Amino acid sequence: MRILLVEDDDLLAQAVATALTKQNYVVDIAPDGEAGWELISVSNYDLILLDVILPKLDGISLCRQLRQSGYQMLILLLTAKETKTDKVIGLDAGADDYVVKPFDFQELSARIRALLRRGNTSLPPVLEWGALRLDPSTCEVSYADIALNLTAKEFSLLDLFLRNNQRIFSRSAIVDQLWSAEKDPPEENTIKSHIKSLRQKLKAAGANYDFIETVYGMGYRLKALDHEQSFPKPEPEIDSKQQQILLTAIAQERENFKAKVGSRIAVLKLAADALRKGTLDAQLRQKAEQEAHKLAGSLGSFGFAKGSLLANEIEDLFQTQKFISQAKCFYLDKLLMELQRELEKSPVEQIQNLLLVISNDQQVVEELIKEAENQELQIKVATNLTAAKSIISSLNPDVVLLDIDIQKDSLKLIRELSQRTPTVGETPTPQLPVLIFTERNDFSDACGGLRLRLEVARSGGRAFLQKSMPPNEILESVAQVLQQTRITKARIMVVDDEPQTLTVIQQSLEALGLTLKILEDPHYFWDTLTEFSPDLLILDVEMPHINGIELCQVVRNDPYWKFLSVLFLVDNLSADIVEQIFAIGADDCLSKTAKNSQIITCILNRLKRT
């Protein structure tokens, strides 16, 4: 199947093309509407992925132009706008479906499969020719129930013949169908080699060598069947192996995106600097707006949900504010700093509030998904433990909700997730909280329900819930567990010139998994603050050159840092000092002579309130 992707965001386009190529699609890329039109004029495409906002010729205009010219290929719009008006305009222009940016790669893949099935209603979902069976969803091929291990090109060849089983394909036609326009076309011997290899694998499984026959002077086709019939079979969902291939490809493209996105951030920083100096011209403003728009569309697709929202705010500032005040300039700097911080986060930090539900109870899962839409909670679903482990290894969810009735090995999985520890030399693997839910509602039987509760508790389960509970109550329990685990992701900045105090705090807080930035010289305070962007600031009162009270005043006078939590650790907790500390806006204070456990408890309580 051949797909044209018309997208001006080159990083996103390459990632989408890679993900689709892993699923045996042939993908061409056009960077603007005019280039897309030229490719469509010379090549046949089964589907077009069409961005709406494009240079030279926008996606809606290109869609109208295609339909008015009689082109009937499927069109899937990629739009950054989710308003009903934009959707209606796109569908009225002739699009078959739309996906809103930022999109999930797996959802995009599923939408494409659904559209291609709809566009080929005459074809069964599983392609068959006699004893040959090809499943496009799982990329599995078998002959007489014997699995064939095909290369990507061999699979595409067989898929092409099965979808056009009455047609003869010349070598040039095969090249047009199965090779991207960006690559040099292969030699004729290459086509011969692929056909020969495919024939040999079919023969090894029991087929005749001329299962794919040569029509001399014309090309190749499937050999006509004698009296065999092909029966369509129901199409399964994409299997775990194919899903893992897709997830691996997405993860790799995500790293490529992170490595190359710096140039876009640089443009935004350049525009922000010019704005602050009053030298921002129309050309640089437009360039910054375009880069922010691309980031807003692509960041979310690569797992940077918060980054996408930040890029949206930056785009709005450049787009709607002709004259930006000094305060807005400070705000723009803060947005850029937060955006940079999001891109530096680990995969665990980027996917916030991700709940993995392991259950095959469709009704309960659908109710949970619907309820989660009203909360800041993403949900991934696995119907079995094998799929669940794949999702855990690739997406690192924050919490798991496990249907204890799903499989006998459920208790083993609870133990693995709640007690996992890294081996020597590996990156620390945090424990993953697991909540249990079940249909069982009679726990009075000491030999049944009570024993199950004890086994779950001993295995490390955090809660025992019933499916009959309202979905909002189940998710409330999830939120409580998330609140407990979220504290360990906090960032704390400590400014103190006493090495002994710093050592005690550092050892205690880093043992809890908290991220610390230690600063002994307050001269570098502001640069460190803006670069590190802490959730909590801990200050000493007595320091050389600049004391902690003066630093706290600086923070409280800044419009974008004034709400930062500030905790003082002081040598002499006298009434005068305490009064002075709270007068300049500190949130709490504690004596350095307090027990280490008291200091840590005070810090954790402050983080909870934050």
Tell me the pLDDT band of 49, cut-offs 50, 70 and 90: very high
Beta strands 515-519 and 491-495 are parallel
DSSP states along 165-176: TT--B-HHHHHH
Kindly give the pairing relationship between strand 378-382 and strand 565-570. unpaired
At residue 552 the predicted structure's pLDDT band, cuts being 50, 70 and 90, is very high
Tens digit of each residue's pLDDT (9 = 90 or more) over 81-91: 655 666 778 77
Q: Assess contact for 12 and 39: CB atoms under 8 A.
A: no
pLDDT band for position 377 (50/70/90)? confident
Q: Which candidate, 514, 506, 468, places its Cα nearest to that of 489?
A: 514
What pLDDT digit, counting tens, does each position of 515-525 carry?
Answer: 888 888 888 88
Average pLDDT over residues 107-130: 74
The CB density around residue 409, as the number of other CB atoms within 10 Å, is 10
Q: Which of 185-199, 237-251, 302-316, 451-465 has the lowest mean pLDDT?
A: 237-251
Burial track 436-469 (b if 16+ CB lie within 10 A, e otherwise):
bbbebeeeeeeeebeebbeebeebbbbbbbebee
**Does 3.40.50.2300 match the CATH number of domain 350-485?**
yes
Q: Token pair of 335, please?
A: 């947005």
Q: Which among 359, 388, 113 is positioned nearest to 236, based on CA atoms? A: 113
pLDDT at 373 over 80: no
Superfamily of domain 2-119: Response regulator (3.40.50.2300)
**537 pLDDT above the threshold of 90:** yes
Amino acid letter, residue 74 = L
pLDDT digits (tens, 9 = 90+) for 56-80: 998 889 998 988 888 888 999 888 7
pLDDT value at residue 423: 36
pLDDT digit string, tens, across residues 405-419 = 776 677 888 888 876
pLDDT surpassing 80 at residue 246: no
Provide the pLDDT confidence category of residue 464 given band limits of 50, 70 and 90. Answer: confident
Q: How many CB atoms are closer than 10 A to CB 262? A: 11
Looking at residue 349, its pLDDT comes to 47
Number of helices followed by number of strands (H, E) in the chain: 24, 21
Does the domain formed by 127-222 have CATH 1.10.10.10?
yes
pLDDT grade for 233, boundaries at 50, 70 and 90? very low
Q: What pLDDT is attached to residue 242?
A: 63
Across the chain, mean pLDDT equals 79
* Residues 136-188: tens digit of each pLDDT: 767 788 998 888 888 888 888 888 888 887 788 887 778 877 776 656 667 77
Q: Band the pLDDT of 6: cuts 50, 70, 90.
A: very high
Architecture of domain 261-345: Up-down Bundle (1.20)
pLDDT above 90: percentage of residues in the chain: 5
Q: What is the mean pLDDT of residues 379-390?
A: 86
* Same fold? 2-119, 261-345: no
Q: Which two three-digit tokens encode residue 181? A: 């326009």
Q: Give the list of residues 6+ apart from residue 402 with CB closer than 8 angstroms, or none.
A: 358, 359, 410, 413, 414, 434, 435, 436, 437
Mean pLDDT over 221-239 rounds to 54
Q: Does residue 249 have a pLDDT over 70?
A: yes
Cβ count near 373 (within 10 Å): 8
pLDDT of residue 139: 78
Q: Which CATH number fits domain 490-609: 3.40.50.2300, 2.60.120.260, 3.40.50.2020, 3.40.190.10?
A: 3.40.50.2300
| Residue 568 pLDDT | 92
Q: Check pLDDT > 70 for residue 123.
A: no
> How is the chain split into domains, by residue range?
2-119, 127-222, 261-345, 350-485, 490-609
Distance CA 150, CA 158 (A): 10
Q: Edge-to-edge strand order for the sheet containing 536-540?
A: 515-519, 491-495, 536-540, 565-570, 588-591
